[in-house]
């Protein structure tokens, strides 16, 4: 048995970002940039007015002065001439500031009359003007490679004049559930059978992590069937199996994959739930064998599959983010296996508290769905009491 | 001018969830349940073994006892007979427990020999058996209506034997950018023009909130063009416009929508950025008019459009979640307008600190993309100094 940390390091070690693709801006949200975005235009593209008002020369903007309105320049319709002494041009928010003018007199600070305006507040040079390139100049790095694009980033790339962006393509993750006992939801359940929850759950997990899930037809407990299904996964960037990973005589995943040239890296980790984790390669394709129990599968996906997907997608890959919380209740001393307890979170006296569920069965999905967090317990952690600080991972997926 | 709180309440007041649709389980992640999910099967479907081992009668499981192996029952292949005195059946994780047996002897605690096993650790009734329905029984509420489905929820619904789920359909949100000055990213920019960032940004925002964005062709500053574009939005659940909402003579959104029977609810709110917000109805369709400056548009989307989408999508709708942070630096006293400052967050001495950017220009997208949070300042809030507590909204979209 190896440690959780070592297992994660060995899984991530051989992974590199998948290739890039070019996608329309409207499809880029949530994707990871494969190349930096450098501004193709300046923003604003020229000195523009930040207000509705009048373009004036600051030297003319004296209280009581009368200025002749020589034109109007709505946004998108710049004034062709220049503002001379005693002159002004009517502007609106976003209008380009005409030549000659060096400040904006807000319309609230002017009285408009026939042919001209009277200045009611002294003008100050540069006021209410957004200078050309104030937000960014041509060539400025707007967004670095490796960034997962937020809604705001999409807006920024648009402003930088990008209709297309180059992003890492979604890693293709094949999912293979195994077991004679499983059937798909809604299909006939055989004698001694159970409904398969792992395929649908893991497909959603992969998609939520930015991957593209390829759900393979489930394979029975038969080495040849598993070999055939695994063969169909060739070309995927990553293969995830569930079930068939423990010590039972009917655990055939390794046998089935072996026929396809599976090279084992490790099997079994010092962790609960999830001890029978398998990792290896089938040719160049990494293979992660998750336990069949859905809670174990989900916890292992959180600890190992999510970082693997990050590495494939061009994002920083590593341990999940841990936060500190105070324990509600008590916990016995831990044994050799790193433990991940399903827990609920709450706020008490302005601080985060975490309470482990009384029952920690790795086959129970309902408490998993209701959990807010996992409490991490390192190997051999001493007994903990009320108020002791614990490490937690928030469950958002 | 009305307050932010009143504006949000007036927007949400008239909104009801859109209709439901039935989607395949594989498409259900992130959707909002329109009906509760009641378990169609029990989980586990029968008493099952939690270990690889032997089904025995606890009374027989005495250290040193020899038990005759009368069969083997892998998962999916239940044993047809019953376990009698002195007998045992070989089981694996997930195997149904045969009649007669009432406990599982782990294989590590038995020595297998020809025709039988020797018990090495005393059996305890019920141990290592997951009872039928231990996770859930038939008819149990697995997931309530109104819940946005997580990855785990998808797994739970699968285990409950649901191949389809009934969810609220995605609210259709039409997006209309206006202005003679705007062009789409990558298209030719006219004289005095600027690239439109709002359409792409808002489309991503709507999608991130679970809606379906319908981006209308941009309309120039012409009442007839705006009227025609708005007419094309009929049938949408919600219309969002940008630009043309301030006091300039070229602000034609109200005029253009008026031709389509627009009934104004309110115009202008006591907020910075975002003062010229418009809300009203075109027939039954709510219309939210956002300012043209992208930062104002984004902040208003966070405060008003996100709750509106939640209400349409069947989720609880209200103010964003505020967290407390300590201010880094100082802020002058606030005026009558509720203020939302772009800020970065950091951790110091185990606590969250927020520092407002020095420049708070509502046309600057680059600092918006780099912001971690908005600092909320209520109207007339006094001057604040280093270490004072402020309310923040984390920016995750």
- A327 forms bridges with which residues in the sheet? A354
Say yes or no for a CB contact (<8 Å) between A397 and B94: no
Q: Is A80 on the interface with B (CB under 8 A)?
A: no
- The confidence band for B247, taking pLDDT boundaries of 50, 70 and 90, is low
Complete domains list, chain A, with CATH: 4-16+170-313 (3.40.980.10), 20-43+135-168 (3.90.105.10), 48-130 (2.170.190.11), 323-394 (2.40.340.10)
Alpha-carbon span A285 to A262, nearest angstrom: 9
Q: Is B195 on the interface with A (CB under 8 A)?
A: yes
pLDDT in tens, B45-87: 999 999 999 999 999 999 999 999 999 998 889 999 999 999 9
pLDDT in tens, A91-130: 998 899 999 999 999 999 999 988 799 999 999 999 999 9
User: What is the structure's pLDDT at B246?
Assistant: 62
Q: Is the pLDDT of residue A39 over 70?
A: yes
Q: Is the pLDDT of residue B199 over 60?
A: yes
User: What is the structure's pLDDT at A294?
Assistant: 94
Contact A324, A353 (CB under 8 A): no
**Other Cβ atoms within 10 Å of B22 Cβ, number:** 12
What percent of chain B has pLDDT above 90? 82
Residues 6+ positions from A94 with CB-CB distance below 8 Å: A48, A49, A75, A76, B179, B181, B194, B292
Say how many residues make up chain A: 397
Q: Is B134 on the interface with A (CB under 8 A)?
A: yes
Alpha-carbon span B187 to B185, nearest angstrom: 6
Alpha-carbon span B242 to B218, nearest angstrom: 10
Closest CA to B15 of B300, B214, B284: B284
Q: What is the mean pLDDT of residues B35-40?
A: 98
Pair of tokens at residue A316: 């920083």
Q: What is the mean pLDDT of residues B183-188?
A: 94
The phi, psi pair for A253, rounded to 5°, reads -60, -45
Identify all chain A residues contacting B364, using CB atoms and an 8 Å cutoff. 134-135
The label of the residue with tokens 């459009």 reads B305
Alpha-carbon span B368 to B362, nearest angstrom: 9
Say yes or no for a CB contact (<8 Å) between B369 and A155: yes
Say yes or no for a CB contact (<8 Å) between A197 and B156: yes
What angle do the packed helices A4-13 and A306-313 form, to 10 degrees? Answer: 30
User: What is the structure's pLDDT at B223?
Assistant: 85
User: What is the structure's pLDDT at A244?
Assistant: 74
Alpha-carbon span A248 to A242, nearest angstrom: 14
Alpha-carbon span B185 to A76, nearest angstrom: 16
Minimal Cβ distance to B366: which of A41, A136, A208: A136
Residues 6+ positions from B148 with CB-CB distance below 8 Å: B30, B31, B32, B210, B315
**3-state DSSP assignment of residue B96:** strand
User: What is the structure's pLDDT at A248?
Assistant: 57
User: What is the structure's pLDDT at A249?
Assistant: 47
Q: Is A137 on the interface with B (CB under 8 A)?
A: no
The label of the residue with tokens 């285990």 reads B159
Contact A12, A307 (CB under 8 A): yes
Residues 6+ positions from A188 with CB-CB distance below 8 Å: none
| C-alpha neighbours within 13 Å on the C-beta side of residue B97 | 27
Contact A271, A277 (CB under 8 A): yes
pLDDT in tens, A234-271: 889 999 999 876 655 456 777 888 888 889 999 999 99
In terms of Cβ atoms closer than 10 Å to its own Cβ (0-12, 13-18, 19+), residue A263 is: exposed
Q: What is the mean pLDDT of residues A355-363?
A: 94
User: What is the structure's pLDDT at B326?
Assistant: 96
Q: What is the mean pLDDT of residues B121-137?
A: 96
Closest CA to A306 of A2, A15, A1, A3: A15
ipTM over cut 0.85: yes
Residues 6+ positions from B395 with CB-CB distance below 8 Å: A150, A152, B302, B371, B372, B373, B374
Q: What is the mean pLDDT of chain A?
A: 94
Q: Is B280 on the interface with A (CB under 8 A)?
A: no
Q: Is the pLDDT of residue A166 over 80?
A: yes
């Amino acid at each position: 048995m190896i440690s959780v940390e070592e297992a994660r390091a060995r899984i991530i070690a051989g992974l590199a970002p998948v290739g890039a693709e070019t996608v329309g801006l409207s499809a880029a949200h949530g994707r990871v940039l494969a190349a930096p975005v450098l501004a193709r235009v300046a923003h604003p593209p020229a000195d523009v007015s930040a207000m509705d008002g009048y373009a004036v020369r600051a030297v003319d903007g004296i209280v009581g002065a009368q200025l002749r309105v020589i034109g109007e320049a709505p946004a998108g319709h710049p004034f062709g001439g220049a503002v001379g002494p005693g002159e002004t041009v009517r502007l609106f928010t976003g209008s380009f500031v005409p030549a000659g003018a060096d400040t904006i007199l807000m319309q609230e600070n002017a009285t408009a009359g026939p042919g001209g305006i009277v200045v009611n507040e002294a003008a100050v040079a540069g006021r209410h003007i957004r200078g050309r390139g104030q937000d960014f100049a041509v060539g400025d790095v707007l967004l670095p490679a490796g960034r997962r694009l937020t809604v705001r980033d999409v807006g920024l790339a648009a402003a930088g004049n990008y209709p297309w962006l180059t992003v890492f393509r979604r890693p293709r993750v094949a999912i293979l559930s195994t077991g004679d006992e499983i059937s798909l939801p809604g299909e006939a359940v055989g004698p001694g059978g159970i409904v398969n929850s792992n395929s649908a759950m893991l497909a959603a997990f992969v998609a939520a992590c930015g991957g593209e899930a390829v759900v393979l037809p489930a394979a029975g407990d038969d080495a040849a069937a598993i070999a055939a299904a695994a063969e169909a996964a060739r070309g995927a960037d990553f293969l995830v199996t569930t079930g068939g990973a423990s010590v039972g005589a009917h655990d055939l995943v390794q046998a089935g994959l072996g026929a396809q040239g599976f090279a084992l890296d490790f099997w079994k980790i010092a962790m609960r739930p999830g001890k029978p984790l398998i990792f290896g390669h089938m040719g160049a394709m990494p293979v992660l064998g998750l336990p069949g129990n859905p809670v174990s599968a989900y916890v292992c996906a959180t600890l190992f599959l999510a970082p693997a997907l990050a590495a494939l997608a061009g994002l920083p890959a590593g341990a999940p983010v841990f936060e500190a919380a105070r324990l509600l209740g008590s916990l016995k001393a831990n044994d050799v296996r790193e433990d991940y307890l399903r827990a609920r979170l709450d706020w008490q006296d302005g601080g985060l508290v975490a309470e482990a569920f009384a029952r920690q069965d790795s086959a129970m999905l309902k408490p998993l769905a209701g959990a807010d967090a996992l409490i991490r317990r390192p190997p051999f952690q001493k007994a903990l009491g009320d108020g002791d600080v614990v490490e937690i991972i928030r469950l958002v997926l």
